[in-house]
Structure formats: structure tokens, C-alpha cells
């Protein structure tokens, strides 16, 4: 039976969506036999976590924090998955204007509570958006950033198929 990689994401201006879709493309295109589910955070819940073998959580950093929609996903899912997904693999994607580390820190703390195992360094893409207009504008990420996301997807799918995690 194929293992499942669940990608839960939130994106307001398209940057994080591009990252999540590139990761999905890498996971699906590498030849590994895995199921890959890409779900908006607003639609995902504890049942989705329980049905998956590994996770990618992807969101923008808003005001030096996890986006509200992603935080809502964690709030709605935390106790329903607590002590039921211990030891499963996870990775993080963050699209940020300048930093992204606080969003990473928050998601890592949640993953620690779930007793998940980090299998990759968090991938942060900084857009440089610093003005209200630039922050709210639709994003187009650099090909190199999307290539990193695809490579992470390939690695996660291959690792899942091989039983590494």
C-alpha cells in the first residue's frame, strides 16, 4: 500500500501556494509510489492528519507569525491528532517578506507537541515585500526557489517509499 504525503497550506497572495504546488509536483514526478494530497488549511482537519504518513505544513509569515488560517488549522486539529501521529515525518515551507523564522518556530513547537520528526530543514522563501502594496500584491516566486521546493518534494516522496521515514 502506498504511503501518503499530506501538504497543508495557506496562501493569500500566491507565494505559499506556488511553493506547495512545486513540492507536490516534485513528489508526484520523481517516480516514487506515494499518494500526495494538497489541501488548503481551511479544508484540512484531524482526519486528514490521521490518514497520512508524513506532512508538509506551508504558510506565509504574517506579522512575524503563522498566518491566521494556518493557526486555525492547527487549533482545530491539535487535540484530534495528539498522541495519534507520533513519530511521523514533517517538513515546513514559509513564504515571508523578510524573515520567516518566527512562523517556523511556531510550527516547530506544534510539531514537537505532536511528537513529529523533522526530516528536512525548514524552507523559507523571502520575497522582499516590505510596503503595504508589495505585501498584498500577488507573488511570483523565483524559479530557483520553486526548484528547491520540487527537490524537497522528491526527497520526501522517495524517503516515504523507501521506508526511511
Residue 1, pLDDT > 90, answer no
Percent of the chain with pLDDT over 70: 100
Kindly state the average pLDDT of the residues 81-96. 98
pLDDT tens digits, one per residue of 149-158: 999 999 999 9
Residue 141, pLDDT > 90, answer yes
pLDDT tens digits, one per residue of 7-34: 999 999 999 999 999 999 999 999 999 9
* Boundaries of every domain in the chain: 3-162
3-162 CATH, one of 3.30.450.20, 2.40.50.100, 1.10.240.10, 3.40.50.360: 3.40.50.360
Kindly state the average pLDDT of the residues 107-114. 98
Average pLDDT, the chain: 97
What lies within 8 Å, CB to CB, of 80 at 6+ separation is 45, 46, 47, 49, 50
Sign of CA dihedral 93, 96, 99, 103: negative
Residue 45, pLDDT > 90, answer yes
Q: Of the candidates 35, 83, 93, 31, which has an alpha carbon nearest to the alpha carbon of residue 61?
A: 93
Q: Of the candidates 158, 161, 76, 90, which has an alpha carbon nearest to the alpha carbon of residue 121?
A: 90
Residue 36, pLDDT > 90, answer yes
Residue 62 pLDDT:
95
Amino acid at each position: 500500500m502506498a504511503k501518503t504525503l499530506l501538504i497543508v497550506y495557506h496562501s493569500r497572495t500566491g507565494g505559499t501556494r506556488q511553493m506547495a504546488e512545486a513540492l507536490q509536483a516534485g513528489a508526484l514526478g520523481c517516480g516514487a509510489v506515494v499518494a500526495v494530497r494538497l489541501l488548503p488549511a481551511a479544508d484540512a482537519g484531524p482526519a486528514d492528519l490521521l490518514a497520512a504518513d508524513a506532512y508538509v505544513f506551508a504558510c506565509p509569515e504574517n506579522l512575524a507569525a503563522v498566518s491566521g488560517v494556518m493557526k486555525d488549522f492547527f487549533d482545530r486539529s491539535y487535540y484530534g491528532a495528539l498522541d495519534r501521529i507520533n513519530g511521523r515525518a514533517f517538513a515546513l515551507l514559509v513564504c515571508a517578506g523578510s524573515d520567516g523564522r518566527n512562523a517556523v518556530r511556531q510550527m516547530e513547537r506544534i510539531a514537537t507537541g505532536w511528537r513529529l520528526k523533522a526530516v528536512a530543514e525548514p524552507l523559507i522563501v523571502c520575497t522582499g515585500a516590505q510596503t503595504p502594496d508589495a505585501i498584498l500584491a500577488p507573488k511570483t516566486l523565483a524559479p530557483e526557489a520553486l526548484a528547491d521546493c520540487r527537490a524537497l518534494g522528491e526527497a520526501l516522496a522517495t524517503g516515504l517509499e523507501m521506508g526511511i521515514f
